[in-house]
C-alpha cells in the first residue's frame, strides 16, 4: 500500500465545515421533534467519540516509525476534529447543543481527552500506541458498519446526508491506514524479537502490560466514564438500529486478516475480536433485544418515511 498516495489524497480532498449551509431549513417533517432531539443527542455523543479518536491518532503519529505515516496520522487527527465539529453543527440543526448533554457525559469526554493527552506525552505513550494498533480499527469499523447506517436511516435529510458522505470518504482512508498500522505493528514486533534474540526480555503482551496511567488506574475516571456513557443510553435506544448492522460489523471484523494477514499474531487483536464475536451473536439471537428494536422501529415508522 502506498501511504504517500493516501496522504496526498487526504490533503487534496480535505473539506471544511463551512462548506455547508447550516442555516438551511431542516427537511425532516416526517420525523417528530422529540426524535430529532434524540438524534441530536446521539450526534453529540459521536462528536465526543471523534475527538477521542483524534487523540489516538496523535499518539500513533508520535510513535509510528514511518515519517509519512506520522504526517498522515496527524492529518487524520484533523479529520476527526472536523468530523466532530460537523456533528455538532448537525446536532444544532436538530435543536440540541453540546451543553444539552448531561454534565457527567461532558465531563467524561473531558477526562478521557485529558488522560490520553497526558499519556501521549509520557513514557507510556508507546505502550498505548502498541495496544491501540487494532483498537482504532475496531472503532472505525463500528462507525462505518453500525453508527453511520443507523444515523443516516434515522435522519434521511439531504444536507445531513451530504455531510455523512464527506465523513465516509475520510473514514475509508482511515480504515485503509488502520490495516497498514496492524501490519506495521507486526513487523516491528518481529524486529524487536530478532533484535533481542537470546535475551531474557520478551516483547510485552496485552496480558502482562501494566500501564499506571490515570485512564485505567485512577479511582475517579471509571466512576465518571461508566455513568457518563450510560446517560446517552436513552436517546440511543430510540435509534432504528438493526440486528443486521451488528452482523455486518462482525463480518467486517472477521475479515480483517484478509486485509492485514498478520492481525491474528498481534496481541491487541485476538481478545477484542472474541468479545465482538460474542456480543454480535448475542444481539442477533436475543429475542428480547430484537423485539425491542421491532417496537422502536414500528414506533419510528409512525413518524418516519424511510
Look at residue 178 in the predicted model and tell me its pLDDT.
Answer: 93
List pLDDT tens digits, range 161-171. Answer: 999 999 999 99
User: What is the fold, at CATH topology level, of the domain defined by 32-301?
Assistant: Ribonucleotide Reductase, subunit A (1.10.620)
Average pLDDT in the chain: 79
Residue 242: DSSP 8-state: -
Residue 282 has pLDDT above 80, yes or no: no
- Residue 24, SS3 per DSSP: coil
Look at residue 157 in the predicted model and tell me its pLDDT.
Answer: 86
Look at residue 86 in the predicted model and tell me its pLDDT.
Answer: 97
What percent of the chain shows pLDDT beyond 70? 75
Please give the model's pTM, rounded to 2 decimal places: 0.81
- Residue 255 CA to residue 185 CA, distance in Å, equals 18
Look at residue 213 in the predicted model and tell me its pLDDT.
Answer: 43
Look at residue 176 in the predicted model and tell me its pLDDT.
Answer: 93
The domain segmentation of the chain, as residue ranges, is 32-301
45 or 192: which carries more pLDDT confidence? 45
Q: What distance separates the 2 farthest-apart alpha carbons in the chain? A: 69
| Confidence band of 252 (pLDDT split at 50, 70, 90) | confident
Look at residue 61 in the predicted model and tell me its pLDDT.
Answer: 96
Q: Quick one: cell of 100?
A: 444539552
74 or 222: which carries more pLDDT confidence? 74
Amino acid at each position: 500500500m502506498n501511504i504517500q498516495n493516501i496522504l496526498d489524497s487526504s490533503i487534496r480532498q480535505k473539506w471544511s465545515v463551512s462548506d455547508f449551509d447550516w442555516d438551511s431549513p431542516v427537511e425532516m417533517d416526517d420525523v417528530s421533534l422529540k426524535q430529532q432531539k434524540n438524534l441530536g443527542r446521539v450526534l453529540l455523543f459521536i462528536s465526543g467519540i471523534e475527538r477521542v479518536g483524534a487523540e489516538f491518532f496523535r499518539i500513533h503519529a508520535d510513535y509510528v516509525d514511518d515519517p509519512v505515516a506520522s504526517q498522515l496520522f496527524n492529518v487524520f487527527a484533523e479529520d476527526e476534529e472536523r468530523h466532530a465539529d460537523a456533528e455538532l453543527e448537525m446536532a444544532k440543526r436538530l435543536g440540541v447543543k453540546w451543553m444539552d448533554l448531561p454534565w457527567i457525559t461532558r465531563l467524561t469526554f473531558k477526562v478521557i481527552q485529558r488522560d490520553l493527552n497526558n499519556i501521549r506525552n509520557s513514557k507510556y505513550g508507546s505502550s498505548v500506541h502498541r495496544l491501540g494498533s487494532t483498537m482504532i480499527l475496531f472503532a472505525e469499523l463500528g462507525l462505518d458498519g453500525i453508527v453511520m447506517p443507523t444515523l443516516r436511516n434515522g435522519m434521511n435529510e439531504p444536507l445531513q446526508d451530504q455531510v455523512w458522505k464527506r465523513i465516509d470518504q475520510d473514514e475509508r482512508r482511515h480504515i485503509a491506514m488502520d490495516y497498514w498500522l496492524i501490519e506495521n505493528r507486526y513487523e516491528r514486533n518481529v524486529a524487536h524479537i530478532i533484535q533481542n534474540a537470546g535475551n531474557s526480555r520478551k516483547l510485552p503482551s496485552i496480558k502482562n502490560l501494566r500501564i499506571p496511567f490515570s485512564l485505567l488506574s485512577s479511582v475517579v475516571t471509571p466512576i465518571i466514564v461508566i455513568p457518563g456513557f450510560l446517560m446517552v443510553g436513552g436517546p440511543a435506544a430510540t435509534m432504528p438500529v438493526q440486528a443486521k448492522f451488528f452482523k455486518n460489523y462482525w463480518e467486517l471484523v472477521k475479515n480483517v486478516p484478509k486485509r492485514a494477514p498478520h492481525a491474528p499474531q498481534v496481541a491487541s487483536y485476538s481478545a477484542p475480536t472474541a468479545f465482538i464475536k460474542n456480543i454480535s451473536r448475542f444481539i442477533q439471537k436475543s429475542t428480547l433485544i430484537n423485539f425491542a428494536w421491532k417496537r422502536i422501529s414500528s414506533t419510528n415508522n409512525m413518524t418516519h418515511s424511510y
